[in-house]
Amino acid sequence: MSSDQPGDIPTNSRARPPRCADEIERDFLDLMMSGIPSGIAHDKFERLWAETNALAASWMLTEQGRPYIALLKGMHAAFAERYARRPE
């Protein structure tokens, strides 16, 4: 396996190549600006988080992983501030 491909992302021709951190960040910023209801926002956030986390983990301790780890930190703080869960 090359160092350019994350370990747990399929590499067959039909699979979508891994997105760069900038692309995921743009989707996250769109989510933050959308004003969608909290429940839907949490679902979308979980998908973005899972994608980012998988890429960060697959490139752990490499230069390629740094942007994903930085993005995870920023996503967590911004989302928690904007969409704090209320006790049910």
pLDDT-derived band at 87 (thresholds 50, 70, 90) equals low
Where is pLDDT greater, at 21 or 14?
Answer: 21
Where is pLDDT greater, at 21 or 84?
Answer: 21
pLDDT given for residue 86 in this prediction:
58
Average pLDDT over residues 2-24: 68
Average pLDDT over residues 60-66: 89
pLDDT given for residue 14 in this prediction:
74
CA triple 26-23-85, angle to 5 deg:
50
Q: Are 19 and 65 in contact (CB under 8 A)?
A: no
pTM: 0.75
